[in-house]
Amino acid sequence: MSRKPCCVGEGLKKGAWTTEEDKKLISYIHEHGEGGWRDIPQKAGLKRCGKSCRLRWANYLKPDIKRGEFSYEEEQIIIMLHASRGNKWSVIARHLPKRTDNEVKNYWNTHLKKRLIDQGIDPLTHKPLASSPNPATTRTSEGQDDSNPSNLDEQSQSGSMSPKYLPISSSSCNLQKMSNSDETTRNNGSLSSKKCRFKKSSSTSKLLNKVATKASSIGNMVSASVEGSLIRSTILSPCLNDVFSETSQFQMDEFDPFSHSSEQHITDHMKEDINMDFDLKNSEFDFSQFIEQFSNIEAEKANAIGGYNQDLLLSDVSSTSVDEDNIMQNITGWSNYLVDDSDFPYDTNQDFDDKNFI
C-alpha cells in the first residue's frame, strides 16, 4: 500500500509565497492558532498544501524567529553539536533560541561546512581529512600546513603557535560585509530577509580553538537559557546582549500566542541535553573539563540512539588521536595559546559588534 501524497489537488500553488498569502496565513493562525495544517489552506483561503503552510509559518512567519547573521557563539554551538550529533538540525536548532532547523541547516551547508573542508577537516566526522589537505590551506610560510592537526598540536603544546601560522579568523563576528547593505527583497516583495554576502577570511581551526576560550560565554548562554531568561531578561552578559538583542526587544506577548510554550521548550531541551551539574556561571569555568564531560554525555546518548562516533567531540578538540591519556595535556597546551588575548579578535567584555573586531 502506498502512502497518499501530502499535497494532491488541482490548482495548488507552489513556489515563493506572496505578501498576500503571508498575510492570510498569519491572520488565520493569529486567530485560530497552529495545528490542523491540512485544513488551514482551505479555511485561510490559500491555494497551498497544508505542509507548505506549516513550513512557511515555522521557518519564516512565526514571530519568535531570529533572522540575520549567526553570532560567534551560535557558530560555536552549531559546530560543537554537529560534532556530537551529526545532521540533527532540529536538535541543534533547539540550542539556538529563535533559530529554525532550516536556517541552521542552510548556514551549515553554505558557510561552516565549507570552512571545515577548507581547513582539511571532514565536516561529516569532524576529523582531519584522510587524504592530502586542501592546497588552499597549505599556504603558510616555510611550507607548514596549518590545517594539519599534528602541526596544530605540536605548536600549541610547545606554546609557540604564532598567529601568523593561522589563517585569519572567520566567524560571523569578524566576517567583513562586502556588499548589499541595502534592502534586497525576493519573492515578489514578500517578507524575505536581507541578503548578505561576506568575505571569507577565516580559519575554522581557529574557530574551533576559540571555542575553548569562549566557554564561559557558552556557559552563560546555556545558563540563561535554562533559567528562561533569554526571553525577556535584560541582564544577560555583554556579548549575549547582542546575540539576543532582538530577543529582548521583541514584544512576544503582542502577538505570539505560544510564548510560554516556546520559552518552556527551550528550557526543557537545555535541561535535557546539558549536564546541569556544571557550574556554567563560573567565569573561570574549565572548558577542557566541560568538553570531556559533555563529550561523554553526548557519546552515551549517541550510543543509545544507534551510535554516532563517540570520540568525535574529543577528537575534534584534540585534533589528533583519541589517546585519552594525552587529551587533557593537549587541551592544556591549546589553552596556553588560546588565552593569549592579543590574538583574540574582540574584547570579551564588550558587546558583540563588528566594530569590536580586528
Binding site for DNA (CB under 7 A): 1, 3-7, 13-17, 35-38, 48, 50-52, 54-56, 58-60, 67, 87-91, 101-103, 105-107, 109-111, 114, 178-180, 182, 184-188, 190, 192-193, 195-198
CB of 109 to DNA, least distance (A): 6
CB of 27 to DNA, least distance (A): 17
Cβ neighbours of residue 183 closer than 8 Å, sequence gap 6 or more: 194
β-partners of residue 121 are 128
Cβ neighbours of residue 209 closer than 8 Å, sequence gap 6 or more: 334, 337, 338
**Which residue, 232 or 269, is less far from DNA as judged by CB?**
269
CB of 354 to DNA, least distance (A): 16
Residue pair 229/241 in contact (Cβ under 8 Å)? The answer is no
CB of 284 to DNA, least distance (A): 34
Instruction: At 263, give phi and psi (nearest 5°).
Output: -65, -50
Residue pair 326/156 in contact (Cβ under 8 Å)? The answer is no
Which DSSP symbol is given to 3?
Answer: P
**Which residue, 5 or 135, is less far from DNA as judged by CB?**
5
Nearest in space to 129 (alpha carbons), one of 147, 104, 103 = 147
**Which residue, 180 or 251, is less far from DNA as judged by CB?**
180
Rounded CA-CA distance 312/80 in Å is 10
Rounded CA-CA distance 115/121 in Å is 9
Rounded CA-CA distance 121/204 in Å is 9
Rounded CA-CA distance 309/336 in Å is 28
**Which residue, 58 or 297, is less far from DNA as judged by CB?**
58
H or E element that contains 328? helix 324-338
CB of 3 to DNA, least distance (A): 7
**Which residue, 16 or 339, is less far from DNA as judged by CB?**
16
CB of 117 to DNA, least distance (A): 12
| Amino acid in position 38 | R
**Which residue, 190 or 356, is less far from DNA as judged by CB?**
190
CB of 48 to DNA, least distance (A): 7
Longest CA–CA span in the chain (Å) reads 68
Cβ neighbours of residue 216 closer than 8 Å, sequence gap 6 or more: 282, 283, 284, 285, 287
CB of 239 to DNA, least distance (A): 22
**Which residue, 117 or 331, is less far from DNA as judged by CB?**
117
Q: Which grid cell is 108?
A: 551549515
Which DSSP symbol is given to 135?
Answer: G
Rounded CA-CA distance 115/226 in Å is 30
CB of 235 to DNA, least distance (A): 31
**Which residue, 139 or 265, is less far from DNA as judged by CB?**
265
Cβ neighbours of residue 198 closer than 8 Å, sequence gap 6 or more: 172, 175, 176, 177, 178
**Which residue, 13 or 281, is less far from DNA as judged by CB?**
13
